[in-house]
Amino acid sequence: MNDEPVAYDILLSGTSGLSGLVRAVESGLPVKDAMVIVTDVRGDLLASAATGEAGEFSFTELVPGTVTVAVNAAGYRPRALPLEVGGTGVTRVEVDLQAGAQVQGVVRAPHGPLADARVTLVDAAGNVVGTATTGADGAYAFTDLDAGEYTVIATGYPPVATALTVAGQGADGHDIELAHPGE
């Protein structure tokens, strides 16, 4: 300024990388096509990508600092992990996903599948986990469930409650028969 040099310091932040692997807890096998999302502390999206054949993902040019890595894949419970991306190099993370169990079946009346029946899923503590209305084929489904004890309640005729233990991938074919007394 005014023909005199001015000293000006510039602080450059380096960029770092993040790579990792997504696996299934039960089998230890890689999870292909899982969506991996990286956000900063404000929740702003920094990067996202799907995992490859071997469950791998990699991001370059991330600013060092605290991030959240969220992973979501069909058939698995979503997972979010806080992580510190280092100032240099590539930070490595392994994410284990638990299978999300499901319960599905058909509600039937004496004349066949029952459309528009209301099905409620209640956990062991008595909390309503979800509700569904059957389609024209009488089918219902609940997904993304934890393992445990549940009660399935179907109404449309006098209500019927059935106990169910969910483990592993869940229960497929948990059919319910509804009828008026004497039918």
Q: What is the pLDDT of residues 19-55, one digit of tens each?
A: 999 999 888 999 999 999 999 989 899 999 999 999 9
Task: List where CATH 2.60.40.10 sits in the chain.
Answer: 101-177
Nearest CA-CA partner of 68 in 89, 93, 37? 37
- Classify strands 170-172 and 101-109 as parallel, antiparallel or unpaired: parallel
Q: Which region among 50-54, 71-75, 90-94, 131-135 has the lowest average model confidence (pLDDT)?
A: 71-75
Residues of the chain with CATH 2.60.40.1120: 16-97
CATH number of 101-177: 2.60.40.10
For the stretch 128-176, pLDDT in tens is: 999 999 999 999 999 888 878 999 999 988 888 888 888 766 767 788 8
* CATH number for the domain whose boundaries are 16-97: 2.60.40.1120
